[in-house]
Amino acid sequence: MTDRFEELLQELGRIFQLPLHVDKIGACSIMIPPHPAIQLQLDETQEHLLLFSKIVEIVPGKFRENVLCDALKANALTDPRPGILGYIGKSNELALYQKYRASFLNGERLASYIGLFLEMALAWKVAIEHGNTAP
C-alpha cells in the first residue's frame, strides 16, 4: 500500500505543483502558508490515510478551558466534517486530524479534502490568536 501512498503523493504534487515524497518515517509534511503544516501518513493497517496538523498553542487557564469546550462542541457536529479537534497536553497545542479510506482516494479528491481540512485549521488558528474560543 506504500506504493499507493506514493502514487497519491505524486498526483497531489501535480495538483499543488509541489514535489512530494514519503520521508524516513513513512509520512509527508506539506506547508502551504498561511495554513499550519499538515502531515499525511498511512495508518498501521495501511488502509487509511491520516491527516494531522498542530494548529496553535493554547496557554493554561480559563481561555484554554473555553477553547477545548468549544472544540468538543465542534467535534459533536454531524459528518461530514473536515477534521476532528484534539489537544496535545505536552505542548499545549490544539490539533486537527482526520482519516480517509486510502482506496477511496485519488489526487483530486485528496486535494479537496486537504483544502477543507486546512481551511478549518486556519479558521481555528486565527480565531484563537484573536482571542476568540472558536471561529
Mean pLDDT for 86-92 is 96
Residue 1: pLDDT band with limits 50, 70, 90 = very low
Q: What is the DSSP letter of 76?
A: T
**Could you report the per-residue pLDDT of 38-53, keeping only the tens digit for each?**
999 999 988 999 999 9
Taking all residues of the chain, what is their mean pLDDT, rounded to a whole number?
A: 93
Enter the pTM of the model: 0.91
Helix 107-129 / helix 2-16 crossing angle, nearest 10 deg: 70
pLDDT for residue 2 = 57
User: What residues have CB less than 8 Å from 131, skipping those under 6 apart?
Assistant: 63
Residue 33: pLDDT band with limits 50, 70, 90 = confident
Mean pLDDT for 63-86 is 94
- Of 17, 22, 18, 25, nearest to 7 by C-alpha is 22
